[in-house]
Structure 1
Amino acid sequence: MLSAVLAGAVAFPLLFCCVRQTLKSSVTGWSDADSACVSERVVSAFHASLATAAGVLVVTSCKDVMIDSHWLVNGFVLFGAPYMAFDIYAMYLSHFYSQGGAHKGHSLKSLRAFLLKDWMLVLHHTVLLLVFMPITLFFRKGLGDFFIGCLFITEFSTPFISIGKILIQLGLENTRLFRVNGIVVLLTFFICRVLLFPFMYWRYGQQFGIPVHRVPFHLPLQCNVGNLVILAPQIYWFMLLLRKAKRLYLRQSGRLTEKEKSRTE
């Protein structure tokens, strides 16, 4: 247990530092904000890729959605826990440099500005660390590894989101690659972060012979509430992605109003 936590505590900060130092020494003209932002996205994509791979292994191994278990569930939760804490720091660092913080220094004001801007992501990471992790490790009584594996798979869209942000950092937001990646982001996000929840209910119903619309009434209230709490921000973020995609399309087709242009800047 401790070895998995220590491995995560070393792997993610080390990768961030290595990527950041490599970018600072090899890419001319990049600021601290550029290197910090791209490094944070690389680490995020790395974690998400591992989570997706772990989720696929767990889901395909668990035939019984309730009682089958897989060692990767607890192992990856412990390994990924340090990432949740470190990514909050990495996001703050990226925000700090992008706001010219190198000339002002760290302060409560800069921290407050970061929390106001990215409060939902910070809350999301905090809940996963302080609520999801203890439930997974101590309160499930070994049940439901299949569903935890499904939740790992929700990270499948994250590498493509990271690629999009890196392409913007490279000034390639008007390329075909960026547009294709944007379509992939929308599809993977909708399938793996929104449709995945009805799939879990359907899979439970298939095993126990229950129509999918009746499944919520056969589950404990805390399970339905927990799923709703996780699903709600996914729907909110998906709507934001759709709005962003619409603005991008209008801007590239020359039909974006001045007011809408100001929102994208």
Structure 2
Amino acid sequence: MSAALACGAVVFPGLFYTFRKILKSTFTHWTDADVVSVSERLVSAIHASLATAAGVTVVTSCKDVMTDSHWLVNQFVLFGAPYMAHDIYAMYLSHFYTRRVKGHASAHHSLQTLMAFLSKDWTLVLHHLALLLVFMPITLFFRRGLGDFFVGCLFNAEFSTPFISIGKILIQLGLDNTRLHRINGIVVLLSFFMCRILVFPYMYWMYGRQFGIPLHRVPFHLPLQCNVGNLVILAPQIYWFILLLKKANRLYLRQKRG
């Protein structure tokens, strides 16, 4: 277990450092904010791709949704834990350099800058901390070896993240009015809806299918904490999906006027 944790602690900060060096020397006109933002997105896309690959492997390997197990579950949770911690730091750096570019008087490392970052990105920070402090301990210590299939499904929720990162990078490259950006935006909406929202009724359906329970009756056959936990995870996904829809609508109206 410690090997997977150590590997993640080396890989993700190492990738972030490498991307910053490459981008800074390649795009010499970019600001530090541009370099850090794109580097963060690239690392995020790599982590999400690995999580999706692990999720697909686990889901397709588990025939019994409750008792079948796969070694990748615990190993990837440990491997990905340093990414969650590092990504909070990378998001803070992006916020810090963006404030500096915009000429904020408080654009230096301080409690005020940190509080401004937490105020702006509190949902993402809370999401990362919840994965580290709640999801990881539950997965590693409190499941009693049950439910690897469902953890694999949650890994697959990351499928939309690379496309979100690609969208941000295309904007950074000045390609936000291209067909590629519009197509990527459609893929973002579809993949986010399928893998972050529909995945929950899918998990309930798979549980009901195995035990011969109709979908609408499944919640009543599960412990209360399971339903509450799923709602806690689902709620921010719905919130972020609404934000994505609003952003897509704004872009559509802007391009229509143009």
Residues in 2 aligned to 1:28 and 1:14: alpha-carbon distance in whole angstroms: 21
SS at match of 1:172: coil
Residues in 2 aligned to 1:175 and 1:111: alpha-carbon distance in whole angstroms: 35
Identity rate of aligned residues, in percent? 76
Question: Which of 195, 198, 203 matches 1:195?
Answer: 198
Query: Which residue number corresponds to residue 260 of structure 1?
Result: none
Residues in 2 aligned to 1:63 and 1:242: alpha-carbon distance in whole angstroms: 35
SS at match of 1:253: helix
Q: How far does the alpha carbon of each residue in 1:92-112 deviate from its partner, in whole angstroms, 9 at most, with x for none?
A: 001100111798420111111
Structure 2 alignment gaps of length 5 or more:
none
Query: Which residue number corresponds to residue 27 of structure 2?
Result: 27
Query: Which residue number corresponds to residue 215 of structure 2?
Result: 212
Query: Which residue number corresponds to residue 171 of structure 1?
Result: 174
Does the alignment pair 1:81 with 2:81?
yes
C-alpha displacement at 1:26, in angstroms?
1.3
AA aligned to 2:35 is S
Structure 1 alignment gaps of length 5 or more:
256-265
Does the alignment pair 1:153 with 2:156?
yes
SS at match of 1:28: coil
| Equivalent runs, 1:1-265 vs 2, <5 Å | 1-100=1-100, 104-254=107-257
TM-score between both structures, scaled by the size of structure 2: 0.97
AA aligned to 1:32 is D
AA aligned to 1:107 is S
SS at match of 2:175: coil
SS at match of 2:257: coil
TM-score between both structures, scaled by the size of structure 1: 0.95
Give the superposed CA RMSD: 1.1
C-alpha displacement at 1:4, in angstroms?
0.4
- How many corresponding residue pairs? 255
Residues in 2 aligned to 1:117 and 1:105: alpha-carbon distance in whole angstroms: 17
Q: How far does the alpha carbon of each residue in 1:172-212 deviate from its partner, in whole angstroms, 9 at most, with x for none?
A: 11010000000000000000000000000000000000000
C-alpha displacement at 1:28, in angstroms?
2.0
AA aligned to 1:162 is S
Q: How far does the alpha carbon of each residue in 1:68-124 deviate from its partner, in whole angstroms, 9 at most, with x for none?
A: 000000000000000000000000001100111798420111111100000000000
